[in-house]
Structure 1
């Protein structure tokens, strides 16, 4: 787990990153800027329980690719979930919270994950652990209106103009951040329909 000091604001950006691409880097960059974060932990997961893992590249390879893509020293590439044999985001966030008192965390995710968020293990617990920032992705802009998560926690949504306060807000709290979008997807890259760098 990366080193962090009390009082800092830290974004948590998790995924299989199979492979990582410029669209992921754009989400991280937007989160750092719009949420005014001190750090962003880019958490490379061992796998995704909701995805087919037959085409999952080895964790070490995905880590190397993430590190090659990122040049901002505030972004910390990590795969600590593997060392602790953690499968579910809810368990990851519970451990982070227990080990880092006094640090202000916010969960970062692309809007393309919002539609299926209610299928995540203990998804409501995730929303009650840390604030959530949903970053716009192509074809997913309306997800913040129609998804089950958005409807369930509609009362906890804050305006994106208040995004800099999100990390210090008490969960549940979330916002949808509009901005530049990349059409790249890991699935398309794996299937040869897109190039990783584009």
Structure 2
């Protein structure tokens, strides 16, 4: 288990959660885009012990952590198993625990547009939207369903333009930005289906 990552007061830290089962170049791609477009000082990969919305459990955490660290080589990105360390299972619990441990750090939740489409199914999703700014990165095929999602409709007045996305971490929640980036179509599901994991 890795130790808690370091962050200085006033820093803007992006949180990218997922099972990373397995991690792939698409994760690296959106991480670099998030750092640049959302004005993040740091980005933490939160490699989850398990996803409550998925029936089948992922590969062992130690295996996914090893693969993630080998895949994501960037001085401002830290691969963590922080949720196993904190004992949290849901994103809202993790965010609450991190805000308590790092009261002077500004967190931004980062997710792919595919997650925004079903965000209203997440536990305490409104609390997440109203607690931390949210940066959404479009992946191929997810743009329309994400823009029409329940979360996008309810919080439509809190959306900032892609041009202003670099100030996201300095805004009070609710605030979110939806950016389009040239995307790879890599997916963990496809990699597992090909038997490459």
| Shorter-chain TM-score range | over 0.9
Contact 2:24–2:71 (CA<8 Å) still a contact in 1?
yes
Using the alignment, how far apart are the partners of 1:125 and 1:11 within structure 2?
Answer: 17
Equivalent-residue separation in structure 2 for 1:61 and 1:86 (angstroms): 20
Deviation (angstroms), 1:53: 2.4
Among 121, 127, 130, the alignment partner of 1:128 is 130
Tell me if the contact between 2:138 and 2:180 (Cα under 8 Å) persists in the aligned partners.
yes
Please give the secondary structure, in 1, of the residue aligned with 2:29. helix
**Could you tell me how far apart the structure 2 residues matched to 1:70 and 1:184 are?**
15
> Does the Cα contact within 8 Å between 1:13 and 1:107 map onto a contact in 2?
yes
1:52: how far off? 2.1
CA distance in 2, matches of 1:143, 1:108: 18
Question: C-alpha root-mean-square deviation of aligned residues, in Å?
Answer: 1.3
Task: In structure 1, list runs of 5 or more residues that go unmatched.
Answer: none
Q: Distance in 2 between matches of 1:26 and 1:142?
A: 21
Match of 1:97 in 2: 99
Contact 2:86 2:97 in 1 (8 A): no
Give the 3-state SS of the residue equivalent to 1:150 in structure 2: helix
- Unpaired segments ≥5 residues, structure 2: none
**Matched residue count:** 194
Residue 78 in structure 1 maps to residue 92 in structure 2: no
Asked if structure 2 preserves the Cα contact closer than 8 Å seen for 1:108 and 1:133, the reply is yes
Corresponding residue for 1:35? 38
SS at match of 2:127: helix
Q: Which residue of 2 aligns with 1:14?
A: 17
Match of 2:175 in 1: 173
User: What secondary structure sits across from 1:114 in the alignment?
Assistant: helix
- 2:141 corresponding residue in structure 1: 139
Aligned counterparts of 2:109 and 2:86: Cα–Cα separation in 1: 19
Moved over 3 A (4+): none
CA distance in 2, matches of 1:96, 1:125: 15
Contact 2:136 2:177 in 1 (8 A): yes
Which secondary structure does the structure 1 equivalent of 2:49 belong to? coil
Report the TM-score when normalising by structure 2: 0.95
What is the CA distance between 1:143 and its match in structure 2? 3.1
- Aligned-pair distance for 1:182? 1.2
Normalising by the residue count of structure 1, what TM-score does the alignment of the two structures yield?
A: 0.94
